[in-house]
Chain A
């Protein structure tokens, strides 16, 4: 079996479940186990243990199971840590795993490895491919949402600055005899320091952004007066565990965090979708469309009194939306339609509460099976990549001041690789092309 780098992820759905599982897969897990639980447990035996931090203090106490290769989920060595659920403990365990050499798994990566090691039937290839694809899309969306809105734009800018630096360093290496205005090493060190500062600032700002938005993003959308706000209020009123009740950042988006069957749900109520309103309303509609574009799930609400059961639906007026959607037909208490699920439509009365339990069950089902990683993991992965990029910048400066331009160039290549991990592009760039268009080269 091929030696594979260790990857780690939280394997249980987001939320405050009683038990949370962190799963680690890869080669060399014995050292990881010794660091975490102080020993290598017997294969495939559940053992009670403390999960320890670097200084030996317990992060949590729970069950550890070690599945040596090949008899494991991925076919590689796998460790499962079953601890107390909840974001703080899970975060600490994941952080510790990374400290011990794992990196946070890309969306779908466990499944991918399982497939490549023949743990999943070939017939399931299509499903695996779809999972990787949709999980990546969803994770990217989740991360962008959880981080500052300009996050990826800023990463791209920094990436460009690193590329510019590499152009100088690589040109100085490959065209040493040309009369190019090469950066003096001391200037290059300063410029690397500046890039490092930008990466660190971005990491700090992203870290102290609003609290993690975990769980499913559900947007309520539809025509004006379809009863969207009533639905929001109904879902809030029935929810005993309201976490917060945040007024929207805009006057026309209203947000609230609720839980349905333990899964955190972030609800957003939007302005009614219609063209030709006033300027303020137009802005509201634009924002609604943005929210819809970023959502995991859209509740497309229609007014049963205004739309015939087979008429143009709110769902269709949404246009092309990536997220799953549920068609919700409201005000059935006025039309006499029978509340509940039928024919791809959920009929409710937000006012009376009829049929809302059915809607909640459907939302919970979708939340439970939503593929891929949530915003938390995506964001954690990105912050780790930023940290790694900034560490490499520091190393690049050191190597350069020691007179190892080749090692400094290697460090900067790695900086770009880490930044590329965040924005999802490869950094196999046309470095030579950049050099030729920047400098006059030619002996």
Chain B
């Protein structure tokens, strides 16, 4: 149980860091990057320890992670269109 309490405390520290980073009011791009990195670390800790992926066979761990990663990578093609719309509006009279 001690190990899980340490992970839980670590997760609380990450949440505090997320709030601190937001309150320092960095530019939106930097804020997004910082928050995503912290969220990914948080998710990694939850997956490995709370959801026990660290103690399962590697085949399960990689099947789960790769399936979600492929889905997320494929969704990235939307950004081109989002930025096209943004620039289209900005240049409108």
Bound pair: A and B?
no
Interface residues of B (CB under 8 A from A): none
